[in-house]
Each structure stands twice: as C-alpha cells, then as structure tokens.
C-alpha cells in the first residue's frame, strides 16, 4: 500500500482536533472502519464498494478532494490483486500425459463407431424412400394424427404464460446512509449514493431488486407496504420481489461503483 491516503486523512483529522468517535458521529461510519481507512487496511472493510463510499464520505467531511484518493485506492487494490499467489499448476508425472493413450484410443474408437452409425442411418432412409416412392408414411396398423377441431384444445396449445409479477420499491432516508440498489439484471437504480436524512429515491419498478445499505437509517416500502428493518451501524443487504423480502449474505450483496 502507498500510505498516501491514510497520511493525508490523518493529518487533516489531527489538524481539526477530532478523533475517530467524532468522525463516527458525523458520518455514521463505524470508528473501526475509519481507523482501518487511515491504516489502509482495506481488507477490514466489507468490500470494495464500501471502501470507495466510506473513503469518499470521510474525505468530504475533512474537506479533502476525494477523487485523487479514490484513484490511489484503485491502484492499491489492483496491485494487491496482482500480488495474490496464483494456484499451482497440476503436476504431470514424467513419461505420462493427461488422458493417456488408453483414453485417446477409446475416444477415437467412439468417433469411428458414431460415423459408421450415421452412414448406416442415411443409407436406410434413402432405401426406404426409394422403395415407397416418396416420403415414408405411417407404420402399418397406425393412423395418422388428425388436427383437432376442439377450440379448448387449440386454446391450451397456444396459451401464453402471464408476465412475471413486478414489485415497486421506494426509499426515504431517516439519517445519513450509503445506498446501492440494482434490479435483477444488475442495472444500478441508486448508484453508490450517500443519502442525507429526508432524501428520497424511487419509486422503482422491477421483477426484483437487490439492496446494499451502509446502515438501517432508511425507510423502504415495497408495493406501498413498509419493509421491516433493524437500525444497526453495520451494513445490511436484502432482495425484494413479489415473493417477499430475503436477507442477502455479504458476498451476495450488489456493489455499485
């Protein structure tokens, strides 16, 4: 890690005479996350999206331009990913190859047999057509299926499944909260925004929506019904559809950029 991000933020914080608890009260971001940002221990944060959102919020609180810090963060994360050790390649014993000669023999034999069967099938069809003077008809003793005149049968065959149900979701922040909201296709509806108390977003209509929140200081309604939320300082995430509301594990939550 470069150390530049943490040094800049720490210097500004100390110059203002505030501690981590003061920052937590002002931003609603846990003090341990603020401490991790200054130490550039990004693995402590819940994920890359949180790292970007928390860094931007912290920098803006200290009146520091967040864009150079975000660019430095991306370089640090890219370097860390590149340094991760690649998994070892499979070891092949000397004098052998994967799928040895026995495997090759059986694959070749199967290909030859398949080719012979195709040729035999084509020849059989051609001989049948020549003997009967045209297209082969129904087997002896069977009757060709006639189209049905029953309108109910035809209606069943042409029935179209109804379109999937959709859900309408609205948001209203009751405190400062970071929000990432995407639809089922992954399109961002609220793209990594920090909403202040009183701000609203929506309504959004989709088959399903996936939500990632920095905390529970927000009111969520689905089809005009309130979604019950706790009010923790920790990030939360869930999925809303016509079937109801399901909690999402941290790895399944959407990440906005």
What gap in Å lies between CA 256 and CA 254, rounded to an integer?
7
Percent of the chain with pLDDT over 90: 29
Evaluate whether residue 139 is within a structural domain.
no
**Digit-coded pLDDT (tens) for 199-229:** 999 889 998 988 888 888 888 898 888 888 7
- Entry pTM: 0.45
The pLDDT of residue 78 = 84
Domain boundary among 81, 102, 132: 81
Per-residue pLDDT, averaged over 169-196, amounts to 87
Contact 202, 169 (CB under 8 A): yes
Evaluate whether residue 243 is within a structural domain.
yes
Evaluate whether residue 88 is within a structural domain.
no
- What SS3 class is residue 159? coil
Q: Tell me which residue of 52, 54, 61, 4 sits closest to 29, measured CA to CA.
A: 54
3-state secondary structure 20-74: HHHHHHHHCCCHHHHHHHHHCCHHHCCCHHHHHHHHHHHHHHCCCCHHHHHHHHH
Evaluate whether residue 227 is within a structural domain.
yes
Q: Could you tell me the pLDDT band of residue 80, with boundaries at 50, 70 and 90? A: confident
Cβ-count burial of 27 within 10 angstroms (0-12 exposed, 13-18 middle, 19+ buried)?
Answer: buried
Per-residue pLDDT, averaged over 58-78, amounts to 93
Evaluate whether residue 104 is within a structural domain.
no
Which residues share a beta bridge with 213? 179, 236
**Digit-coded pLDDT (tens) for 2-57:** 678 999 999 999 999 999 999 999 999 999 999 999 999 999 998 889 999 999 99
CATH number at residue 49: 1.10.260.40
The domain total for the chain is 2
Domain boundary among 58, 81, 104: 81
The gap from C-alpha 28 to its chain's centroid, in whole angstroms, comes to 26
Evaluate whether residue 74 is within a structural domain.
yes
Evaluate whether residue 151 is within a structural domain.
no
Give the residue numbers spanning the domain of 35.
4-81
Whether 165 has a pLDDT exceeding 90, the answer reads no
**Digit-coded pLDDT (tens) for 90-117:** 444 444 444 444 555 556 666 766 776 7
pLDDT, averaged across the chain: 79
Evaluate whether residue 17 is within a structural domain.
yes
The pLDDT of residue 93 = 44
Between residues 157 and 181, the one the model is more confident about: 181
Domain boundary among 35, 54, 81: 81
Residue count of the chain: 257
The pLDDT of residue 39 = 94
The pLDDT of residue 143 = 55
Helix H or strand E encompassing 183:
strand 177-183
Contact 178, 153 (CB under 8 A): no
Per-residue pLDDT, averaged over 148-166, amounts to 62
């Amino acid at each position: 890690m470069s150390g530049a991000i943490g040094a800049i933020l720490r210097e500004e914080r100390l110059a203002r005479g505030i501690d981590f608890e003061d920052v937590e009260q002002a931003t609603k971001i846990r003090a341990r996350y603020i401490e991790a940002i200054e130490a550039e221990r990004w693995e402590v944060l819940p994920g890359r999206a949180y790292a970007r959102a928390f860094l931007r919020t912290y920098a803006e609180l200290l009146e520091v331009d967040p864009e150079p810090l975000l660019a430095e963060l991306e370089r640090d994360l890219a370097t860390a990913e590149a340094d991760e050790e690649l998994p070892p390649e499979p070891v092949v014993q000397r004098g052998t190859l994967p799928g040895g000669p026995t495997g090759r023999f059986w694959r070749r034999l199967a290909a030859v047999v398949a080719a012979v069967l195709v040729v035999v099938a084509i020849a059989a069809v051609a001989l049948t057509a020549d003997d009967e003077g045209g297209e082969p008809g129904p087997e002896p003793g069977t009757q060709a299926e006639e189209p049905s005149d029953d309108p109910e049968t035809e209606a069943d065959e042409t029935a179209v499944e109804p379109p999937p149900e959709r859900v309408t979701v609205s948001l209203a922040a009751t405190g400062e909260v970071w929000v990432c909201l995407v639809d089922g296709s992954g399109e961002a509806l609220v793209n990594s925004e920090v909403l202040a108390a009183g701000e609203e977003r929506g309504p959004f209509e989709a088959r399903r929506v996936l939500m990632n929140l920095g905390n529970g200081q927000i009111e969520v309604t689905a089809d005009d019904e309130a979604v019950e939320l706790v009010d923790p300082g920790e990030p939360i995430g869930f999925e809303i559809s016509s079937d109801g509301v399901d909690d999402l594990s941290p790895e399944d939550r959407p990440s906005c950029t």
